[in-house]
Structure 1
Amino acid sequence: MKFKKNQYFYQKQALFMRHYLYILFIGFVLSLTSCRQDFEFEPSSGGLEFSKQTVYLDTVFTNIGSSTYTLKVYNNSDKDIKIPTLQLAEGQNSKYRLMVDGIPGKVFNNVELLAKDSMFIFIETTIDYSEYANPDSEYLYTDKIEFHNISGAPQTVDLVTLVRDAYFLYPKRFGDGTTETLPIGGEEIYGFYLDHNDPANGDEYEWINDKPYVIYGYAAVPDNEILNIHPGAKIHFHADSGLIIGSNATINSNGTPSTYDVDGNVIEDNEVVFESDRLEPDFADVPGQWGTIWMTLNSNGKFNNTTIKNATVGLLIDKNTGTLNMTNVQIYNCSNYGILAKTATIDGKNVVINNCGQAGLACSLGGDYNFTHCTFANYWPRPNQVPVSIDNGDGTAPFALVNANFTNCIIYGSSSYGISLKKEGNLFDYNFRNCLIKFFDFGQFESDPLYPIANTTDYTNCIIARNSTTNKPDFLNPTNNRLIIGEDSAAKGTADFSFSTGTSDILNKERFGPLSDMGAYNFIIFE
């Protein structure tokens, strides 16, 4: 019996193994058939489709790499195909670089693409402008991506890049491998002093408009020197870069009004612009791309017809000896402050600030401020921000708020309060005259003598917007920094014209009496 049981057991085990091997064999055959079918690619006969017919790599500065751009290629047929050759038309001589299926190069052979599938091609470029120099300081570089097939001419996608020449300002590299630095607050930062006789740029204290300036690190104007920025000059800062004005040094940003044709197109661009060196449209309004313009203790200057955008702090102003004059100045998209003034003296006319992470204008640690026909908006997408904040530090004499006068201004934003005031002691002198101010109070400041609900003395003829339906500024598109007011604005015709006589708005349009509009812009009728 024992032998029969063992024989029966071994027979069952042998039968099980035969079934298992049979199933395994069938699975192996099917897998071979499936793999063989998956890799039966046939040469492409064309018919590919693309996410774009032209890839614009936007504008780059000479010898600075572009961002990475993408092209999506679709095989909408029912067949697995093999593209015989995918290449740049200029081949290895092209200034563009491709990444196909994770492999970098400029020419690719037998690129496989499954039926009803797609693939990404990544595109970059770095171009030396000097190889294509022309009198206009710009060069349009083009190439094509070619997708060859067995049916005839290759399918193509155009590549286009505008290359700009520029003045490049950056710290010098010394023979021992170190680089130039600036002593700031007991530390050394990556930066350099301007040079009257730079071998490449000439006099770096005269910024002209024949081509842009690109700055790496912090450019410094030494004590007692003067930086003159000519009409139409464009200044671009790399990440963690900026401009420092030394003690008793002066910055003069001498922009003038631009001219336009009857259709509103710029004929002559005379404005001075400070911005990032990222020129792609996706970076046009990104805050915090560079540092700041820092006017240090006892520095001086003026800003006329000037735009500052996408900084961490647009203007950082320590106590200045003279008055900083600002006329027709726009400051946008600063991750912290548009203007952070510390015990400063500023006279501003037609100043516009919007979209700043903490405050558009911060008059901090006292000072002496006069702003006329200005628009201080703040539509930063988070609630903890204000258009205007004012404080006098600890209230002692060195931080006295001598004056903070706002006349014919609009102070409005996306948060509930247009102003934030912090007073210590009695050295706090401020006045708002004929201003439109947003102040949605829910009882918190109802009896606070600093604010307009309980205080009429310091808010002469002001219009207070206390809810979302009345006394609106009627901005054209504040999120996108278009702060022109419309016909339904509460600021229309409500300014004190005695402060408007003989002036023009920020677009150089004359203000007419006997009534004028609050803010930096005359109203227009929106179409």
Structure 2
Amino acid sequence: MRPKIVLFFIGIIMTICSCRSDFETLASTGDLEFSKDTIYLDTVFSNIGSSTYRLKVYNKSKNDITIPSIKLGKGLSSKYRISVDGMQGIEGKIFNNVDLLAKDSLYIFIETTANSTDANASDFLYTDQIQFDSGENLQNVELVTLIQDAVFLYQQRFADGTTETLPIGNEKIDGFYLDENDPVNGNELQFTNDKPYVIYGYAAVPSNKTATFEAGTRVHFHANSGLIVANNASVNINGTRSTTDKLENEVIFEGDRLEPDFSDVPGQWGTIWLTDGSTNNTLNHLTIKNATIGLLIQNNDGTTVSVKNTQIYNSSNYGILAQTAKINGENVVINNAGLASLACTYGGNYTFTHSTFNNNWNSSQQVAVLVSNYILGEIPEAKDLTAATFNNCIIYGSYSNEMSLTKKTGAAFEYQFNNCLIKFDNISNQFTTNPDYQFNTDTAHYNAILLNKDPKFFNISQNKFNIDETSAAFAKGNSAYLIPLDIIEKTRTLPPDLGAYQNKAFPK
């Protein structure tokens, strides 16, 4: 008997389910509700597709309804595309007789690909509507997108289907040489602030040429893209102080995803690579965001890379990775890197003054500053570190020890920290007898060190590393190493504060 009862109920359920698609509906009376009345699709570049945005449509009535029409206001000519509960409709623009159950909802997904010429000439906004027509009451949800024109730089594609590559050592990578006589873009070695640039692949500066970036230039790198400077080539980044929150005079390198959700995502693009043979490189008022390695500097020809008033944030591996390089850094700020904010490795010669190195990456393996004279597996494994000098600097972060010194014998290992605030907690006395970390007694390597004192940065999560009079770094600098102006060109007083910011100097 029991099996018959079970079969009976199964039959009823199957009957109900098989008839579900034939439910009777009433025509919509225009009483739909929406999760938003306006969808703002964040800024996109010309002819580059946007992210997908979502709208939820509610039927809060007690009746199953049919919406006679859901369509884009500009019809088939609209630059928007929508899907309604997975349906594509007519070219993603028009949908007829869409059913919606009582007390239920449906999803509409929205995308756009538009050109700046499609937008309003006055404000570069491209707009449309999703129209819900009940026959009695027309309901609209507004769509708004800012279309930004840009200069696109990318590798050539040849007739045989292959693309342009660059020789790097014994390997080739996807990339191209910047052309000072490009028939479309003109001089690609002169980056201006007229339009942003979008780079696909690695853009290389040709031998004996210089790439110049004027104040206010914006460069957006696609995934696995970057800039390479080698073979007697140079890069000059000529940013200047900005006076507003728009950072109008800063040169900014970042990814090509403009949505707010990507504003702090590390590893969106590759690196700025100053490699073998590059020469006379100068970087001033540069901000680098969300790279894999912010700056990769290798084997300079003996000339010093000048890095001034430069900020590097959210690098998935390193903020600066230097290998057998020569760098002079002033007013440098680096925050958040998966391995090290600053790594001076495989020897070299490095001086950083009035700089702030912080690392709040969520890992116990990260450090703010790493200094070494070797790379395992290289031939030779160790090279001379002739200088690693830090003056009036802050080395801090979320981990107990934010500085690491590692060396191999057989090569020089010269370092010195003068008037620096360093976070280094000798947990369980594991470094008590290590000769490289004798902060209080080794005057040949350490002078006037503030150990494990809180700099009281204004807001680390917003990359605001200014301090005030309550900071342990306040007025603890040595005037012998004074850089007269801080990173935003506020005059330093005497004795100066440690780090890149003079007290109460708020980042723009």
TM-score (norm 1): 0.88
Q: What is the rounded CA distance, in whole Å, between the counterparts of 1:42 and 1:173 in structure 2? A: 55
Match of 2:470 in 1: 488
Instruction: Please tell me the residue identity of whatever aligns with 1:271.
Output: E
2:107 to 120, 128, 133: 120
Q: Secondary structure at the match of 1:178?
A: coil
Q: Which amino acid aligns with 1:451?
A: Y
Match of 2:465, SS state, is strand
1:217 aligns with 2:201: yes
Q: Which of the numbers 203, 207, 211 marks the counterpart of 1:227? A: 211
Structure 1 outlier segments of 4+, above 3 Å = 23-38, 130-134, 394-398, 452-456
1:504 maps to 485
Residue 315 (1) aligns with residue 295 (2): yes
Q: Quick check: which has more Rg, 1 or 2?
A: 1
> Which residue of the partner structure matches residue 310 of structure 2?
329
SS of residue paired to 1:121 = strand
Letter of the 2:355 counterpart: C
Conserved? CA contact 2:229–2:278, under 8 Å:
yes
1:450 alignment partner, SS class: helix
1:25 positional shift: 11
Aligned equivalents of 1:275, 1:29: Cα separation in 2: 56
What is the Cα deviation at residue 133 of structure 1?
8.0
Contact 1:445 1:453 in 2 (8 A): no
CA, structure 1 residues 37+187, in 2 after alignment: closer, same or farther (shift >3 Å)? closer
Q: Identity percentage over the alignment?
A: 54
Q: How many residues align?
A: 493
* Counterpart position of 1:250: 234
Alpha-carbon distance between aligned partners in 2 of 1:255 and 1:421, rounded to the nearest angstrom: 33
List gaps (5 residues or longer) in structure 2: none
1:48 aligned onto 2:32: yes
Q: Deviations over 1:198-227 (max 9, x none)?
A: 111000110111001110111111221111
Secondary structure in 2 aligned to 1:83? Answer: strand
Shift, 1:174, TM fit: 2.2
Q: Structure 1 353/449 Cα, relative in aligned 2: closer, same or farther at 3 Å?
A: same
Relative to structure 1, the CA distance from residue 82 to residue 447 in structure 2 (aligned partners, 3 Å threshold; closer, same or farther) is same
Taking the aligned partners of 1:126 and 1:373, their CA distance within structure 2 comes to 45
What's the secondary structure of 1:428's corresponding residue?
coil
Q: 2:425 — aligned with what?
A: 440
Q: Which amino acid aligns with 1:439?
A: F
Alpha carbons of 1:69 and 1:447: their partners in 2 closer, same or farther (altered >3 Å)?
A: same
CA 1:349–1:155: 2 relative to 1, 3 Å: same
Partner of 1:404, secondary structure, is strand
Give the superposition deviation at 1:493: 1.3
TM-score by length of structure 2 reads 0.92
CA shift, 1:172, in A, is 1.2
Aligned 8 A contact 2:271 2:296 in 1: yes
Change (3 A) 1:193 1:27: closer
Seen in structure 2, the aligned counterparts of structure 1 residues 38 and 317 have a Cα distance that, compared at 3 Å, is: same
Task: Name which of structure 1's ranges 348-357 and 166-175 shifts more when overlaid on structure 2.
Answer: 166-175
2:451 is matched by which residue type in structure 1?
I
Write the distance in 1 (CA, Å) between the matches of 2:12 and 2:390. Answer: 84
Structure 1 residue 499, shift from structure 2 partner: 2.2
Q: Which residue of 2 is the match for residue 295 of structure 1?
A: 274
Say whether residues 1:60 and 2:44 are aligned partners: yes
Report the Cα distance in structure 2 between the residues aligned to 1:434 and 1:334, rounded to whole angstroms. Answer: 27
How many angstroms does 1:32 deviate by? 5.7
3-state secondary structure, aligned to 2:493: coil
1:78 corresponds, among 44, 58, 62, to 62
Q: Secondary structure at the match of 1:476?
A: coil
In structure 1, runs of 5+ residues without a counterpart are 1-15, 466-470
Number of the residue aligned with 1:406: 390
CA distance in 2 between counterparts of 1:196 and 1:297 reads 22
Question: In the alignment, is the contact (CA less than 8 A) between 2:126 and 2:144 conserved in 1?
Answer: yes
Partner of 2:496: 516
Q: How does 1:56-205 map to 2 (within 5 A)?
A: 56-104=40-88, 105-132=92-119, 134=121, 139-152=124-137, 154-205=138-189
- CA contact under 8 A between 1:448 and 1:454: conserved in structure 2? no
